[in-house]
Structure formats: C-alpha cells, structure tokens
Amino acid sequence: MLLSNRVAIITGGAKGIGRGIALKFAEEGCAVTIADVLEKEGKRTSEELSKTGVEGVFVKCDVTDSRQILDMVEQVISKFGKVDILVNNAGGFGPTIPVTDITEEAWDRMLNLNLKGVFLCCKAVIPHMIEKRYGKIINISSAAAIAGGPPQVHYSAAKGGVLSMTLALAVELGRYNICVNAILPGLIRTDLWQPNVPPGLDEDKFFQQLGEKLVLLQRVGTPEDIAVVALFLASDLSRYVTGDRVLVGGGVPLTPPFID
C-alpha cells in the first residue's frame, strides 16, 4: 500500500473533499486524524476509517484558533509519535456576492478560515516534520485562486494566498525533505455549493447543467477526483515534486468551445 505506516492530519476531514481524502488514505494504510469543528460528522467518518483496519481518530478543532491546533497536534504526536502528512483542507465559501457588499467582518472571517488556518496548522506541524526530516504538506487551494471564479473576491484572495504560501514553504522546507504542494479544485460537488443552488431547482439538475455548461469534461467533479491526486502527492510516488500546483477541474478554468 502506498501509505503504509504513515500518519496524516486532515483538517476539515469530516465530510466533503476532506472525507474523500481521508477514506482514500485509509485504503492505502495511513492512520488518519480528522481535525474538524463538526463533531458528529467527524466521529462518523473516523469510525468509517477504522473499519478499513487503520486507526481513525477525530479531534474537534477550529483551525482559526492556534491553541486548539497546538492541542490537536500534540494529541497526534502523543498517540502516533509523528506526523508524516498534513492536508490543509478546512475552509469554506458562501453565496456569490459583489465586492461592494462584502463587509470588513466578512472579509476577516473568510481569510481567517481559508488562509490563516492553513498558516497556523503548518506552523504547528512543521517542527515535528523537520525533526523527522520528512513531510508531505498538501494545501487545498482553488481554481478561483488563478481564475477569479464567481463574485467572491474575499474567497479568491484567500485561496490565492494559500497558493503563494505553498510556494514559499516549498522553498523554505526543501532542505528538510519536506514537500509542499497545492491542489486547486475546480467545480467539485460538496455541501459547500448548496447556497448557490437556485431556489426551486433540483440539486442534481443544477450540477448536471453546471458541468455541461462550464466543464470541458462535461461533469462536475467529486471528492474522489481530488482524493486520488492527494494520494499521489502524499505518497513517495511524488518524492521529487514540491512547490507545484495541480489543477483538478476537468478543464476548468479553460472555457468550453460550446459555451454560449
């Protein structure tokens, strides 16, 4: 198995993309700690992981709170003795909103969750990776980091920051055999998209139309599509890959030739 005897922390791993990555890692022999604020969903996912024969652990953790992050990391170190893989997946967005309607408070919340949280988790985990002279850090950015996307300038700015942080960390940490890479998901079907489904429109129909209109491969992606790329970046198959970004969007942000 590709991740035998590895230990991973996945933030926001209770559901959606994070859950998909957690399940894929467990299939490949990795012990996984899910750090999330969603206690019910997080425990359920950790139980699913344990059924695969590896250890699945849930720790309730708000990634915008440095004290909670440090406590979570210490729990992982106490239990497993190391952290080989960190997946910074926790984040979120909301309905599309013009820049003129974004409040300062909304800006701060978006950047705290999507950018500051990545920094705080890296800061807490990196010393342990340096000590072991090994590490894989995977930051979940977004296609919106390079393509703008729907009107959510605060989300695009935060995810752009994640991409820049990835490059800077790769430069700083390469000497310690720590690889830092980013995944940029395109249109991936998760609960986060729910606020953007028009009232009265069936959710399946919404995603079908979205994929047919905007994606070269004619479908919206799934968490599994992200998980297989995360597996590559977490495993030694990518041992000579760092400071890179992988755009996983079925062709997004390229514009389909058939778009009206």
Active site residues: 155
**Token pair for residue 203?**
């959710």
Residue position matching structure tokens 């495993």: 235
Phi, psi of 16 (to 5 degrees): 65, -140
User: Cα 44 vs. chain centroid, distance in angstroms?
Assistant: 19
What's the one-letter identity of residue 235?
A: S
State the Cα–Cα distance between residues 209 and 218, nearest whole angstrom. Answer: 9
The per-residue DSSP string of 179-219 comes to EEEEEEE-SB-SGGGGGGSPTTS-HHHHHHHHHHHH-TTSS
**Token pair for residue 254?**
């390229």
State the Cα–Cα distance between residues 214 and 260, nearest whole angstrom. Answer: 10
**Token pair for residue 12?**
């926001």
